[in-house]
C-alpha cells in the first residue's frame, strides 16, 4: 500500500465507494462517506491528499461542501465528480469552485478509475519534488516584469487569489494553469514542476 497518498470519497452511492476501494485495494489508503457532515469531521481530524466529491450527496451539495472544507483546509486536492444537468458542471466548476479537477460521469467505471489513477500519480510525483508551483508562478511573473494585478486582470480573478497561488495557499484551477502557461510561454508541466530540467535550457 502507498502510505504516501490518502484518499477520501464523499458520495451518496455506497456501491460506487466500495467499487473504487476495491479497485485500489492494497495500493492506497481510502476512506469513504455517504454523509457530508461525517466526512468533513474526518477531514478535520485526519490529513488526506485527495477528495473525490460527488456534486449531490445529501442536504449539502458540492459547492457547500467545498466551501466548508476550504475554511480549514487549503491544501486538499479536490476532484468534483459531475453529471449531466447539474447546477454547475465541467469547466464552469473549475472557475467557480475552489477545486483542482473534475470528472464528468459517463457510466464507464473504467474511465473513472483511470482518471483517479492519473490524479494520484500526478500528486505523488508532485509531492516528491522540491520545486513548488507557487515558487514557479512567482518566479515566472517576476521574470516577465508583471504584477499580481496584471495576472489577476489576465485571468479575470481577484489579486488576492493570485497572491494565494504564489504563497501556495491554493493551487490554480486547470484552465488557469493552461492560461498561465500560454502567457509565460512554458508548458503546464513546467508550472507544475514536472519538468525540472527546463530551467537549464
Residues 6+ apart with CB under 8 A from 64: 36
Q: Please report the pLDDT score of residue 89 as a whole number.
A: 56
What are the backbone dihedrals phi and psi of residue 168, each rounded to the nearest 5 degrees, phi first? 85, 5
Residue extents of the structural domains in the chain: 2-127, 133-200
Q: Please report the pLDDT score of residue 5 as a whole number.
A: 83
pTM listed for this prediction? 0.62
Cα 162 from Cα 56, distance rounded (Å): 29
CATH superfamily of 133-200: lambda repressor-like DNA-binding domains (1.10.260.40)
Is 50 in contact with 28 (CB distance < 8 Å)?
no
| Average pLDDT per 10 consecutive residues for the chain, totaling 201 residues | 78 92 87 95 92 90 90 88 62 72 82 87 64 87 92 94 90 91 87 57 35
11: number of Cβ within 10 Å: 21
Q: Please report the pLDDT score of residue 196 as a whole number.
A: 46
Matching CATH number, 2-127, of 3.30.360.10, 3.40.50.2300, 3.40.50.300, 3.40.640.10: 3.40.50.2300
Amino acid at each position: 500500500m502507498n502510505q504516501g497518498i490518502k484518499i477520501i470519497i464523499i458520495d451518496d452511492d455506497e456501491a460506487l465507494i466500495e467499487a473504487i476501494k476495491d479497485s485500489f485495494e492494497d495500493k492506497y489508503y481510502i476512506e469513504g462517506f455517504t454523509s457530508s457532515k461525517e466526512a468533513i469531521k474526518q477531514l478535520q481530524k485526519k490529513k488526506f491528499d485527495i477528495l473525490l466529491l460527488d456534486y449531490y450527496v445529501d442536504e449539502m451539495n458540492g459547492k457547500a461542501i467545498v466551501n466548508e472544507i476550504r475554511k480549514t483546509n487549503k491544501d486538499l486536492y479536490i476532484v468534483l465528480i459531475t453529471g449531466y444537468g447539474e447546477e454547475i458542471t465541467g469547466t464552469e466548476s473549475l472557475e467557480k469552485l475552489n477545486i483542482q479537477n473534475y470528472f464528468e460521469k459517463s457510466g464507464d467505471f473504467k474511465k473513472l478509475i483511470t482518471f483517479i489513477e492519473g490524479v494520484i500519480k500526478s500528486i505523488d510525483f508532485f509531492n516528491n519534488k522540491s520545486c513548488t508551483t507557487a515558487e514557479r508562478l512567482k518566479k515566472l511573473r517576476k521574470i516577465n516584469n508583471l504584477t499580481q494585478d496584471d495576472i489577476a486582470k489576465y485571468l479575470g480573478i481577484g489579486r488576492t487569489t493570485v497572491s494565494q497561488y504564489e504563497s501556495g495557499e491554493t493551487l490554480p484551477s486547470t484552465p488557469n494553469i493552461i492560461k498561465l502557461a500560454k502567457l509565460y510561454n512554458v508548458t503546464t508541466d513546467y508550472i507544475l514542476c514536472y519538468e525540472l530540467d527546463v530551467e537549464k535550457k
